[in-house]
Amino acid sequence: MHIRTSALAAASVASFLVPFMMSAVAITLPVMQVELGATAVELSWIAGSYILALAAILLPVGRLADILGRRRTFVWGTAAFVIFSLCASLAWSVTSLVALRVVQGVGAAMILSTGVAIVTELYPRTERGRVMGIMVACVYLGLSVGPLVGGMMTSLAGWRSVFFLCLPPGLLAWIMARRIKDEWRPAHGEGFDLIGSLLYAAFVVCCVNGLTGLARPERGLPLLGAALILGVFFVLRSRSVAHPLIDLSLFTANRVFLLSSLATLVNYAGTFAVGFLLSLYLQVVKGFSPMHAGFILIVQPVVQSLLSPLAGVLADRFNAAWLASLGMALCALGLLGMCGVDLHTGLLEIGAILALLGLGFALFASPNMSVVMGSVEPRHYSIASSLVATMRTFGMTLSMGIAAVVFGFLLHDRQIAPETIPEFLASMRIIFAVCAGLCVAGVFCSLGRVGKR
């Protein structure tokens, strides 16, 4: 098998694996709530702790990959992700599960910081959109199959069985990655900024915990203040060392990369909570089983996985920034539609809105990634993909943070149950309205790079 094919296969399977586990676990949350006695806020942390770990360490891992080797980091990350996923099946409490999800995120960070960079190194610019489309399609395929298979496994064997599902695709990705003989170390011999990495990780943790703690201002505001101070120190540190964690010129001297990164952040902040909220809505409000809820939620990622390769091909032929902006606008429309979901909303209406969101996300994701990777030099591929993945995962964390804040205000420490359905529906509408506003702002952000180089 040609090295390019092996690399694309390994990266694509890994791109499938991470969201597959994420969405499969999401569908089990109501069952976890009963077995572990979790509150609504604790459920948000079970889903969001994994993403928080990703956001905190993606950049340091991406920098280490440039120093130690991208292929090596990818191989180790795939193995770590599988091992810690299996360990999560043994969790005995909410605290232990959250802790294992954090460690699981370490392996995912090693995968996400290197896969796109390796593939971009091997494929020419004229094929970049197509290749990104394939990888994005695998992401959405994982999102599609995750709720379905996760719901079936939860119904048949309990939520713990879901964590065993990572073994087949994880083993396949590991085998394919081992077939790659080339290695890429663009920063070999350079130093690693440990202090900058710790400042960055602390900034992310304080920022996210501050946002999720805003339901109690005495807890949230001090953390946000600490995040601001840490962010300032991180920038000062990055300007003062020879080999910083981030080359700030990627943002200060590259407007396309800056706007593309911001567009990624806004898009995921606006859309990620949809699956979490609808999973709870369908099971608690509508009374569906996890398996039946999975069949409904599969609509959005199926549309995304089917259309992403086409969106990638279109990005090679037309202005990718325009396509991404159109996709963002469709996401905003879909979220506005979600604001009208109530106790009596039909499944056909929900399915139509999910399909619209799927179309919007397909038009946004692969063209946006093509713009990102085309705006930087090859030596920056790994850190650029890590930065965008960081924006993506930080956006996911913000999305769950918004949900946690609203739940904290309206539900407090109560569980989501039949007696709290009115408060849950009110919370859901507020969350969707905020997310729609984010995507509207994202349209203008995305349009700002049209015609720029």
Question: 3-192+243-447: CATH homologous superfamily?
Answer: MFS general substrate transporter like domains (1.20.1250.20)
Task: Report whether pLDDT(57) > 70.
Answer: yes
Q: Where are the alpha helices (DSSP H) in 89-193?
A: 94-112, 115-122, 128-157, 167-178
Averaged pLDDT, 125-136? 80
**Which pLDDT score is estimated for 453?**
47
Name, of 44-48, 69-73, 349-353, the range with top average pLDDT. 349-353
Per-residue model confidence (pLDDT) at position 356: 94
The pLDDT-based confidence of 237 (bands split at 50, 70, 90) is: very high
Q: Using an 8 Å Cβ cutoff, are 338 and 274 in contact?
A: yes
pLDDT digits 0-9 by tens, 371-416: 888 788 777 787 888 888 778 877 877 887 788 888 877 777 677 7
Given a cut of 90, whether residue 46 has pLDDT beyond it is: no
Q: For the chain, what is the mean pLDDT?
A: 83
Q: In the predicted model, is pLDDT for residue 230 greater than 90?
A: yes
Under 8 Å CB-to-CB from 209, ≥6 apart: which residues? Answer: 220, 223
Cα 150 off chain centre by: 18
Domain locations along the chain? 3-192+243-447, 193-242
Residue 277: its pLDDT value, please?
87
pLDDT at 1 over 70: no
Place of tokens 């990703």: 54
Query: Does 451 have pLDDT greater than 70?
Result: no
Burial 237-250 (b: 16+ CB within 10 A, else e): bbeeeeebbbbeeb
Element housing 33 (H / E)? helix 29-36
pLDDT tens-digit series, residues 118-130? 888 888 777 777 8
Measured CA to CA, the distance from residue 444 to residue 439 in angstroms comes to 9
CA 201 to chain CA centroid, nearest Å = 17
**pLDDT > 80? residue 199:** yes
- Rounded to the nearest 5 degrees, what angle is found at the Cα of 369, between the Cα atoms of 366 and 374? 125
Average pLDDT (357-371) is: 88
| Three-state DSSP class for residue 427 | helix
Higher pLDDT, 38 or 107: 107
Q: Report the alpha-carbon distance of residue 427 to residue 430 in Å, rounded.
A: 5
Query: How sure is the predictor about 450, in pLDDT bands with cuts at 50, 70 and 90?
Result: low
CB 181 within 8 A of CB 209: no
Q: Give the pLDDT score at 267.
A: 92
pLDDT for residue 342 is more than 70: yes
Do residues 446 and 321 lie in contact, with contact meaning Cβ atoms separated by under 8 Å? yes
pLDDT at 135 > cutoff 90? no
Neighbours of 409 (CB within 10 A): 14
- Eight-state DSSP code of residue 194: H
Q: How confident is the model at residue 341 (pLDDT cuts 50, 70, 90)?
A: confident
> Does the pLDDT value for residue 266 go beyond 80?
yes
Please give the distance of CA 67 from its chain centroid, rounded to a whole number: 25
Distance CA 355, CA 306 (A): 11
Greater confidence (320 vs 339) lies with 339
